[in-house]
Each structure stands twice: as structure tokens, then as C-alpha cells.
Amino acid sequence: MDTRLQTPRGTTDYLPEESYNRRIAEDSFRRTFELWGYQEIRTPTFEFFQVLATGTGAELEDSMFKFQDKSGRLLALRAEMTASIARVVGTQLLNEPKPIRLWYIANMFRYDEPQAGRQREFWQAGVELVGSDKIQADIEVVALMTQALRNICLKDVRVDVGHVGIFKEIMKEARLNADIVNAIRVSIDKKDSEGLEKTLNTEQIDEQTKQILRALLESRGGVEVLDKISSLVDNQKITDIINNLKKVLLELQGFGVSEEFVTVDLGIIRGLDYYTGVVFEAYVPDLGIAIGGGGRYDGLIGDFASFEIPATGFAIGIDRCIMALEKQKFQYPDKVKASVLILPVSKEMNIEVNKIANKLREDGITVEAEISGWSVSKGLSYANKMKIPYVIIVGEEEYRSKAVVVKAMSAEKQDQVKIKELTNFLKEKT
Ligand code: HAM
């Protein structure tokens, strides 16, 4: 294998057309986040491993690209942004008025097994809403994630909403050891009822807890799912959580996210440890994997500061959005190509060509200048292949009378246009 001719597994080159399509989605995310009052934040691509590993848990830690600097300190490429933003808030933004609304679009790195929708370098667009422990903050971020996905023209965006507090509370009451809790967690997450039964049968777990855990595994649906759990438990914390989730379902409707697009799933257990409250994931039916996910993390910022600051947020996987748009046969607007190619008739006219090109660019017209010493006919053939609609030919004779020739490639037609009228002439046409 000649590594000079390849990129590492799980990384991709994005050629101009694909980069353009991605740019459209990214611009849309940016606009949506800013319309909701969020401000951009950028953090380093690599940081001390200890920062990036704070609160994220073993799964993400294992997937980090780690390396040492020359002094032997352990660094890593960021695998997600939330820990970095928690560090920034905990060290630099503590005195800012709350809530703080932040957004980012950045590349992330995870040593995952590459497959469809799973790369080792991938892009996320996300937000963090810092400083509110109110359910309205959770509702805002779920609504914003849905709106951001709808605004890139994804159809049928669905959200699964759960709450890690229910499982945690049940496990706290059951007092099981960490390995058993993890086995139960994995079975519920994978909706693996056989696996769950196996674990439940080998352990000293009371009947009522078993019943609740079975119900959690099956808890996917509408508000009735919440009522079912409610009828099984006698725990004030869980009752409060359920009432809050009911509020989420109800108030999302005010954001145009009606019940048909929201599924309660109390089995959602996200792959990151820092979550403490409402958690959610976004899907479109055309793609079997989550295109976005997030949730509340009220303890993470406190790991970087002397007190706790509640927060919630999400990240959308841009690569998965692009895949979903392709599956939904989304038609991207035509790529903006240069609208003008400018050619000198002879190399003596090069300076004039560049003067005219620069003036047109200042006026907002996209101009490609000929640099290869081509003949006019070669230039015209290039414009034809590149679908450039207008060619300006700068000849000595016309230039002396302060004019150039403008050729419309679609109609076998050319006009002599005064240089000072060139911008208006082209703007009327393009
Ligand atoms: P996450 O669920 O790990 O959450 O990632 C969010 C999204 O990033 C996923 O839904 C998926 O679309 C995309 N993604 C994750 N891994 C890959 C991969 N290997 N290849 C392609 N896309 C991928 C977080 O990262 C949290 N920081 C979200 C958050 C923000 N929670 C609170 N605030």
C-alpha cells in the first residue's frame, strides 16, 4: 500500500461539488443558530486528554486519537465539543450573564470502525445552552435541533425524547453493582429483552423493579408510555421527571413539532456519561442511524469550576445529514460558477485584462482570468466546457476605444461594450 496516494481510513477528501453542498448545509445551520440568538465559539482541535475525557465516559475515551507532545503531556484530538465548551465556560465565562447560548460547526475525530455514516473524521453542527435548569431550556434545544434539520430541507425529521434520570433513580433504589447496572443499561438501550431477562434472573432484584425495567425496555411511544411508568413507580423524583417530559411533548407543539414527530423513548441511554436529564436523538426514516443527539448535563461544567452550572445542548452529524439529503433526493441549487472568463487577444493586453477583472470583482462579479497564454479559440472552448456563460475578449483595437467584446456562450452572439458600462451590462445578463 502506497500511503502517499491515500488518506487514512475513515477520512475523506471533499471535492468542490461536495464541498459546495456541505457549505449550503453549514450556512443554513449557521443562520438558524444565529436567528435563535446563539453565538459562535471555536476551541482548539486538540487539547489535553484530561479535558476531553472529563465526563465523557470509557466508550468515548477509548475512541480518542491520543498522542504526546514533546514534553510527554498526553493530548487528544477532540471527539466532541461539549467537554471543551464546558472547560471554556468553567474557566472564562463564569461571570457572563446567563443563559449563554453558543454554537459551533467543527470537525471531530473518533477511532470508530468506519462504515456508512461512521467516519474517523466527521463534522458536527451543535449548540450549548448554558445556565438554565428549566425544562424550557430543554424544550428550546429540542425545538432548535428539529428546526435546524428542517431548514436544511430534510423531510420527516423525528425526535426521540427520554430522560436518563428515570433509569438512574431506579438503579439507585435497587442498589446493584456497577457491572450489573451496565448489563441492564446495554440491554435496555439495544431493546434486547432476552438479554435483560438473563440479567434479571441471575440477580437478587425485587419483582417491582423487574417490572419497571421491562416496562422501560418497551417504553417507546406517545404520552401513554409515560402514564404506564407512572402507574408502576412510587417515587417523587420519577413523577416529576414524567411531568416534565409531558411538558416537553406539549410545548414542542408551540414550535411546530407536533406529536406525530416526537416519540418518547425512556430506553435512550446515550453513549456519553455526562448526561443528567432530558436526552434526545434525531432521525429521518430514510437513514437507520441518529443524525443528531444531545441532552442535559448539569454536572459537567462544575468539573471545571468551583460551582455547578446547568446546561443542555445537542450536536448534529453533518455527514449523516448529507447522506439523508441524498436519500431524500434533495436537489441542490446549481453551483455558482464563474460568470465571466476574461481573455486577452495577445499577451500585451495582460495588464488591461487584470485591471478589468479586478474592477468587475470589486463590483461583485465572479471572474476567471486566462493565465495559460491560450488563443481566443482555446479560451472559448474552455468556457464552453466549464459552462461559463460570458467571455470578455480584450483586444488592442477595442481597448483603444475603451471597449471590449463580450461573447454570450449560449447564443452565438457578441457585443462591443464600453468598459465603464461593463458591470451594468453583465449584471443585467447574469
Ligand atoms: P453524539 O451523539 O456522540 O453527541 O454525536 C452527535 C452526532 O454526531 C451523532 O448523532 C451523529 O450524527 C454524529 N456522529 C457521531 N459519531 C460519528 C461518526 N463516527 N461519524 C459520523 N458522524 C458521527 C455528542 O457528540 C454530544 N457532544 C452532543 C451534545 C451536545 N450533548 C450535549 N451537548
Assign residue 379 the CATH number of its domain.
3.40.50.800
C-alpha 119/C-alpha 109 separation (Å) is 8
Ligand 1 center from residue 294 Cα (angstroms): 8
Chain-centre distance for alpha carbon 159: 15
Domain-located, residue 146: yes
- Domain ends where: 298, 327, 356? 327
Q: What is the pLDDT of residue 205?
A: 85
Please tell me the total count of domains within the chain.
2
H or E element that contains 8:
none
Q: Is 295 in the pocket of ligand 1 (CB under 6 A)?
A: yes
C-alpha 101/C-alpha 312 separation (Å) is 10
Same domain, 271 and 217: yes
Closest ligand 1 atom to residue 291 Cα is 12
Q: Cell digits for 247?
A: 411538558
Q: What is the pLDDT of residue 357?
A: 97
Shortest-distance Cα residue to atom 13 of ligand 1? 317
Q: What is the pLDDT of residue 196?
A: 93
Q: Cell digits for 187?
A: 440491554
Closest ligand 1 atom to residue 79 Cα is 25
Same domain, 119 and 158: yes
Q: Is 219 in the pocket of ligand 1 (CB under 6 A)?
A: no
Domain-located, residue 334: no
C-alpha 71/C-alpha 48 separation (Å) is 12
Ligand 1 center from residue 269 Cα (angstroms): 13
- Name the 3-class secondary structure at 153: coil
Domain-located, residue 216: yes
Domain-located, residue 179: yes
- Domain ends where: 327, 348, 373? 327
Domain-located, residue 33: yes
Phi, psi for residue 354 in degrees, rounded to 5: -70, -35
Closest ligand 1 atom to residue 60 Cα is 3
Q: What is the pLDDT of residue 25?
A: 97
Same domain, 182 and 98: yes
Ligand 1 center from residue 16 Cα (angstroms): 25
Q: Is 254 exposed, middle or buried (0-12, 13-18, 19+ CB in 10 A)?
A: exposed
Same domain, 314 and 382: no
Same domain, 184 and 316: yes
- Name the 3-class secondary structure at 407: strand
Domain-located, residue 333: no
Same domain, 272 and 172: yes
Domain-located, residue 335: no
- Domain ends where: 327, 348, 382? 327
Q: Which of 124, 132, 140, 144 to mutate to test the pocket of ligand 1 (most atoms within 8 A of CB)?
A: 124
Burial 33-68 (b: 16+ CB within 10 A, else e): beebebeebebeebbebebbbbbbeeebbebbeeee
Residue 14: closest CA among 149, 123, 125: 123
Same domain, 243 and 352: no
CATH number at residue 116: 3.30.930.10
Same domain, 272 and 197: yes
- Name the 3-class secondary structure at 245: helix
pTM over the 0.85 mark: yes
Same domain, 244 and 178: yes
Domain-located, residue 50: yes
**Would you say 181 and 171 are in contact if contact means Cβ atoms under 8 Å apart?**
yes
Same domain, 292 and 323: yes
Same domain, 283 and 409: no
Q: What is the pLDDT of residue 126?
A: 98
Q: Cell digits for 196?
A: 435483560
**Rounded mean pLDDT for each run of 10 residues along the chain, 430 residues in total:** 92 95 97 98 98 94 97 98 98 97 98 95 98 98 98 97 93 88 88 92 85 91 92 92 95 94 90 93 94 98 96 98 96 82 94 96 95 94 94 95 95 92 90
Range of the domain at 415: 340-429
Same domain, 315 and 364: no
